[in-house]
Amino acid sequence: MLLIGLGRFGSAVAEQLIHQGREVMAIEKDRTLVQRYSGMLTHVVEADAADIEALKQLGAEDFSVAVVGVGTSIESSVLITVNLVDLGLEHVWAKAITPSHGTILRRIGAHHVTYPEHDAGVRTAHLVSGRMLDFIDFNDGYAIVKMFPPADVVGKPLEDARIRTKFGVTVVGVKSPGEAFVNAQPDTIIGPKDVIIVSGRAEKIEKLAERL
């Protein structure tokens, strides 16, 4: 895995990849950051990825996946992304800080564009009410949420609780205290201290959460 930039976003991606057992080669032009992460990552190189010749010398074209974590400088982000696309990498992930930035990245060939600040803001907005434990939003308005069950569905098999019929959402997983998540079945009975995973349209899940 090739990672460009070791700021807050890039370093978080790097740490998670290492946790997953992936090998990471990071390119960063800030010497302080290079020194900070040199002992943690597989390879950390001090270089300017906006220079395509530097990327060629480092063998960037040998990677199939790259993540561009540079976002504060839109110019650098665009130059780095277009360099990776020109080198023929199959999957280029790029961080965008604004919708227009994301549009530019897509037009120059980025295969995946992510908006970490925006996504974090949306997630926080859904969690501040305290009714949800976690929230994952998809661009088409579909969401997956971890939450406690409303009182009126506790103690009933899911087929009797009729959550899908009443609210238009689906319970896909249930976790009892001290146990792992299990796939929800029609005869699954939800306990008062269970945590449930619900999928569906975000606005419909919100209506279910309002019953807590």
| Cα distances (Å, whole numbers) of residue 89 to 30, 84, 92, 142, 147 | 24, 6, 7, 30, 39
d(CA 199, CA 208): 11
Residue labelled with tokens 């994301």:
102
Q: Catalogue the long-range contacts made by 80-83 (C-beta closer than 8 Å, 24 or more residues apart).
A: 80/4, 80/49, 80/50, 81/105, 81/108, 81/109, 81/110, 82/108, 82/109, 83/49, 83/50, 83/51, 83/52, 83/55
* CB-CB contact of 91 with 111 (8 Å): yes
pLDDT of residue 207: 86
pLDDT of residue 172: 93
pLDDT of residue 139: 67
Tokens of 47: 């270089």
SS3 198: strand
- All domains in the chain, ordered by first residue: 2-114 (3.40.50.720), 131-209 (3.30.70.1450)
pLDDT of residue 127: 78
pLDDT (tens, 9 = 90+) of the chain, 212 residues, equals 999 999 989 999 998 888 888 889 999 999 999 999 988 888 999 999 999 999 999 999 999 999 999 977 899 999 999 999 999 999 999 999 999 999 999 999 999 999 888 777 877 877 776 678 898 887 678 899 999 998 888 998 999 988 988 889 999 999 999 888 999 999 999 998 999 999 999 889 888 888 76
* pTM of the shown model: 0.71
SS3 27: strand
Q: Tell me the residue type at 46.
A: E
